Every structure is written in C-alpha cells, then in structure tokens.
C-alpha cells in the first residue's frame, strides 16, 4: 500500500518538524495489526517525477547530456526491506544517518556498473 503525504509550510518548515512527523507516522503505522514493515520515500518506484541529478566521479568534468544522470530519492530506514529489495553489498539507510554525518547512499547494481 502506498500513501502520499504533503506537509504544509510553515508548520513543517525545516528538517526537525518534518523528521518528527515522519517518525510519529511510521511508529503509528508500524504498531498497527498485521503491518510487518513501513517506510517513507520521496518518490515511489517507477514514478519518474523529478529528482534527476548529474553524477560525476572525482576529476571528471560535469556534462549535462543526461548520459550521466541518476534518479535521487530520500528514504527512511527499512525502505528496502519493506519493498523486499535485498541489499547485496554495504548497508541500508540507518537512523544514525543524520545531517551532521557523512551522506549515505544506496545505489542499484546498474548504477554501480555504470
């Protein structure tokens, strides 16, 4: 099941109020009977809406020809396990991935090969 949320400004302006909202909703949903797992994402799979970013490696010039782009989505912990997507190497997003820590990323096999 998917559910779309839209958080009104200025009530949810800034990361703190938004994170508290997501944490509260997830705790409530996960506590519901028969719910095995729940997570948030900034865009559901296959719905290509925004979030396309250029990707370069160190020393590589950024070229805007769309041959070097990736779809960027933010997720909460348990997103991949909720969807039944195995992580083959590395780790899932974690609650310890906070703005004051280095950015964590989970990439697809096709992204890693490219």
Residue-wise pLDDT tens digits, 3-60: 888 889 899 998 889 989 999 999 999 999 999 999 999 888 777 666 788 888 888 7
Q: Which residues pair with 53 in a beta bridge?
A: 70
Q: How many CB atoms lie within 10 A of CB 39?
A: 19
pLDDT at 63: 72
What backbone torsions phi and psi does residue 52 show, to the nearest 5 degrees?
Answer: -95, 120
Q: Are 109 and 88 in contact (CB under 8 A)?
A: yes
pTM over 0.85: no
């Amino acid at each position: 099941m998917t559910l779309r949320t839209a958080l009104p400004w200025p009530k949810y302006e800034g990361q703190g109020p938004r994170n508290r909202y997501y944490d509260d909703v997830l705790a409530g949903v996960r506590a519901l009977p028969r719910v095995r797992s729940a997570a948030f994402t900034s865009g559901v799979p296959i719905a290509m809406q925004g979030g396309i970013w250029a990707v370069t490696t160190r020393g590589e010039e950024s070229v805007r020809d769309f041959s070097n782009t990736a779809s960027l989505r933010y997720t909460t912990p348990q997103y991949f396990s909720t969807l039944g997507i195995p992580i083959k190497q590395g780790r899932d997003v974690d609650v310890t991935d906070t703005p004051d820590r280095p950015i964590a990323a989970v990439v697809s096999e096709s992204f890693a090969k490219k």
